[in-house]
């Protein structure tokens, strides 16, 4: 029996994780759950999965949750705030941690899990974008393991040999082919992109996801963040990571080898596959995902990404090539810009313009500790905010 802490259990990934957990009560039990503000939903999850601890974002939310749980005689302890998140990520009572908080807010708890030597199921790609080196170092230093949940990275993980050491040449790996659906605006007239509505931007053609990652998919910043994520997970330099547009989202990514072989992982676009894969690794368990019907899909197509249509993708490559703190700056500016777009304060094309301006305004530095990186994050956010409402 393995116990799991799910950070961000009310989100899209969190809910899919609980779905997989519920299918295997003989293998998994829930140690802890967390949500930022959706207290009623978290209370229902506690009723069903009976975790030892539940963590929320504020004292008010904690009091609300406490009342809901006591009314139903549920014994789950309630805690709140970033330190409580780190505590459930590193608790002795948990074997693995699903890091599924969105954005930089997930960084500290993911690092805490690494320092406690946990098996980390990493959905929170922003943690690697901000502090890839520090996180990978912490994982190595404390005997933790990092299993990718992002469907592309989980696909690549499945296509790489067991015991892969983050050295492409040592394993005859030539290239990583990161597939991308292209999102809702793959073929829309570029001239009209600034007029897209929030509703259009979050309506992804293939995946049902949280709002932030849905907008990231529409700008293709999501793929940019994933290029950086692939760099850290697999030791791949920028020019060995190629983005391939594949609108059907059936091939989740590929690995190209020196002998000309290309290995791909296929499946229906449902996050329960990578979640179940990582949870049970190296075993395979049922995930509830429908089998792939290739005859019904009939056709798979591929094309190159258009960097003029998707400038965010280029900005992410630039940040990766530059190194230092630029990826953290890019991420912070993106988080602010996406939120401002979702709040209808800026137009869609302002997202990439804002990120670009913040990246050129803030000097790229070297940061060897988390404090320095977070200072950079704060500075970039303030700068982005000032550009939105001067
Ligand atoms: P979501 O918005 O649906 O859920 C986010 C979760 O994080 C919620 O439980 C929320 O309560 C919690 N949260 C939000 N802000 C918080 C804060 N400040 N402090 C603590 N908790 C907070 O997001 P999602 O789509 O589930 O994505 C989660 C992560 O997984 C993201 O990093 C995303 O990029 C990544 N991811 C998601 C998918 C997907 O299919 N949804 C696929 C690949 C990767
Ligand atoms: Mg992905």
What architecture is the 323-390 domain classified under in CATH? Orthogonal Bundle (1.10)
Phi-psi label, residue 95: left if phi above 0, alpha if psi -120 to 50, beta otherwise: alpha
What sign results for the dihedral spanned by CA atoms 113, 119, 120, 121?
negative
Q: What is the band of 364 on the pLDDT scale with cuts at 50, 70, 90?
A: very high
State the pLDDT at residue 192: 95
Q: Is the CB of 209 under 6 A from ligand 1?
A: yes
Q: Whose CA is nearest to atom 22 of ligand 1?
A: 36
CA distances to 56, 346, 356 from 229, in Å: 27, 27, 20
pLDDT at 305: 98
Mean pLDDT of the chain: 97
Sequence ranges of the chain with CATH classification 1.10.1740.10: 323-390
pTM of the model: 0.98
Q: What percent of the chain has pLDDT over 70?
A: 100
187-234: per-residue pLDDT in tens?
A: 999 999 999 999 999 998 888 899 999 999 999 999 999 999 999 999
Report the alpha-carbon distance of residue 27 to residue 99 in Å, rounded: 19
Residue with tokens 């050491």: 165
pLDDT given for residue 207 in this prediction: 86
Instruction: Check pocket membership of 156 for ligand 1, CB cut-off 6 A.
Output: no
Class for the domain spanning 2-148: alpha beta
CB atoms within 10 A of CB 105: 18
- Tens digit of each residue's pLDDT (9 = 90 or more) over 64-80: 999 999 999 999 999 99
Quick one: which ligand is closest to 34's CA? 1
Place of tokens 């067991």: 162
* Ligand 1 mutation pick, 9, 79, 100, max ligand atoms within 8 A of CB: 100
pLDDT at 206: 87
User: Which residue intervals of the chain bear CATH 3.40.50.720?
Assistant: 2-148
What is the percent of the chain where pLDDT is above 90?
98
Burial of residue 344 (number of CB atoms within 10 Å: 0-12, 13-18, 19+): exposed
With a 6 Å cutoff on the Cβ, whether 14 touches ligand 1 is yes
86 lines ligand 1 (CB under 6 A): no
Supply the residue whose CA is at minimum distance from atom 30 of ligand 1. 123
State the Cα–Cα distance between residues 314 and 85, nearest whole angstrom: 34
Least Cα distance to 243 among 338, 314, 177 occurs for: 177
Per-residue pLDDT, 106: 97
Q: Does ligand 1 have an atom closer than 6 angstroms to the CB of 229?
A: no
For ligand 2, the distance from its centroid to the CA atom of residue 155, given in whole angstroms, is 10
User: Over 80: is that where the pLDDT of 390 sits?
Assistant: no
Residue among 8, 41, 336, 342 whose CB has most ligand 1 atoms within 8 A, to mutate: 8
Q: What is the mean pLDDT of residues 321-327?
A: 97
Q: 2-39, pLDDT tens digit by residue?
A: 999 999 999 999 999 999 999 999 999 999 999 999 99
Asked if residue 282 has a cis previous peptide bond (ω within 30° of 0), the answer is: yes
């Amino acid at each position: 029996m393995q116990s799991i802490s799910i950070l961000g259990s009310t989100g899209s990934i969190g809910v899919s994780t609980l779905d997989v957990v519920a299918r295997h009560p003989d293998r998994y039990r829930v140690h802890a759950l967390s949500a930022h503000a959706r207290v009623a939903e978290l209370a229902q999850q506690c009723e069903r999965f009976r975790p030892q601890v539940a963590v929320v974002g504020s004292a008010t939310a904690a009091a609300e949750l406490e009342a809901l749980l006591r009314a139903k005689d549920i014994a789950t302890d309630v805690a709140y705030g970033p330190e409580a998140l780190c505590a459930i990520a590193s608790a002795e009572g948990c074997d693995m941690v699903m890091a599924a908080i969105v954005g930089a807010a997930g960084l500290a708890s993911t690092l805490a899990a690494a320092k406690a030597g946990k098996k980390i199921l990493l959905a929170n790609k922003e943690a690697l974008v901000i502090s890839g080196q520090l996180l990978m170092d912490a994982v190595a230093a404390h005997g933790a393991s990092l299993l990718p949940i992002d469907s592309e990275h989980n696909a690549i993980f499945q296509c790489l040999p067991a015991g892969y050491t983050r050295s492409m040449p040592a394993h005859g790996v030539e290239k990583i082919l990161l597939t991308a659906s292209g999102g809702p605006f793959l073929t829309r007239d570029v001239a009209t992109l600034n007029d897209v509505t929030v509703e259009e931007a979050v309506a992804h053609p293939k995946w049902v996801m949280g709002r932030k990652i849905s907008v990231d998919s529409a700008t293709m910043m999501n793929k940019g963040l994933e290029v950086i994520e692939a760099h850290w997970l697999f030791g791949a330099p920028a020019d060995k990571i190629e983005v391939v547009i594949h609108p059907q989202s059936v091939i989740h990514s590929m690995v190209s080898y020196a002998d000309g072989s290309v290995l791909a992982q296929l499946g229906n676009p449902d996050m329960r596959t990578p979640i179940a894969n990582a949870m049970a690794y190296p075993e395979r368990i049922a995930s509830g995902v429908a089998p792939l019907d290739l005859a019904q899909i009939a056709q798979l197509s591929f094309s190159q990404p258009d960097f003029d249509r998707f400038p965010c993708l280029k900005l992410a490559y630039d940040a990766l090539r530059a190194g230092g703190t630029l990826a953290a700056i890019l991420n912070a500016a993106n988080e602010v810009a996406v939120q401002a777009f979702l709040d209808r304060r800026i137009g869609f094309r302002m997202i990439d313009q804002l990120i670009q301006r913040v990246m050129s305004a803030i000097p790229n530095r070297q940061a060897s500790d988390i404090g320095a990186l977070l200072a950079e994050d704060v500075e970039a956010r303030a700068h982005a905010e000032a550009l939105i409402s001067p």
